[in-house]
Structure 1
C-alpha cells in the first residue's frame, strides 16, 4: 500500500493514524479460507485488522495447510458417531500423559473416549 520498506515502524504507525487508519493485531488461533475446491487453514497465523474510513481489511501472514473441502471437523464428528476415537483426542492424551499413540488409543477405548480419565489411567 505504501512503499515504506525502510521506514521506522513507529513513524509509519503515526502517519497511518494521521490519515485515519487504525491498525489492530488480532490474537487468532486459526483462520480458515474456504474455496469451491479446498480449505486453506492457517494455524498460528499473524492477523492484522486495518480500519480505514469504515472499511475493514484483514491481513493474514503465515503458511497455510491445504485440505479438501469437508475434511475438517465434520470428519472427526463422523468418527465419533461410529465409535472410533478421533485422532486429535489420541494426540492430546499421548502428549499430556507422555505416552505413545497406541497406549493413548487403548486408554481412550477403555475409558469410552473420556480424555481426562484416559490421561489419569496412563499417569
Structure 2
C-alpha cells in the first residue's frame, strides 16, 4: 500500500503518527535491561491512547550494569552502602582509622555494634 495513502487513511480514522528522534531506549525487566541504541521509535495516538513502537536490535545487559566501562560503579555502590556517619562512629568508638572501620562495617553488613566489637 502507498505510504501516503496509508497516512491519509490513518488521519481519517483519527490516528496521529509521529516519528521520535530517540537516541536510546531502555526497557527494564525484573532481571535485565534491553537497550536499543539508534532505534526507530514511532508514537501513535489513537483516540487518546498513545502507543509506542520500537524498531531495532537491543543489547541485553544485567540489571544495574553500568555502560561506561570504567569499573567505578561497583566501588561507588560499595561506598554508598555504608554511610560515612557510621564509619566515623565506628572509627571513633574503636579508636581505628576510617578505612579499617569501613572494612569492619562491610564485613558485618553495616552492623555498628558488631563492627565495633570486631575491632576492639
In structure 2, the residue matched to 1:67 is 61
Q: How high is the TM-score relative to the length of structure 2?
A: 0.57
Alignment length, in residue pairs? Answer: 76
**Where do 5+ consecutive residues of structure 1 fail to align?**
1-6, 83-123
Question: Which residue of structure 1 aligns with residue 73 of structure 2?
Answer: 78
RMSD of aligned residue pairs (Cα, Å): 2.4
| Match runs of 1:1-123 below 5 Å | 7-72=1-66, 78=73
Which consecutive aligned stretches of 4+ in structure 1 deviate over 3 angstroms post-superposition?
Answer: 73-77, 79-82
Matched residue SS, 2:10:
helix
**TM-score, normalised via structure 1 length:** 0.56
- Per-residue displacement from partner, 1:41-98 (whole Å, max 9, x unpaired)? 000000000000000000000000000000025986626859xxxxxxxxxxxxxxxx
- Following the alignment from structure 1 to structure 2, what is the Cα–Cα distance between the partners of residues 79 and 20? 49
Between Structure 1 and Structure 2, whose CA radius of gyration is higher?
A: 2
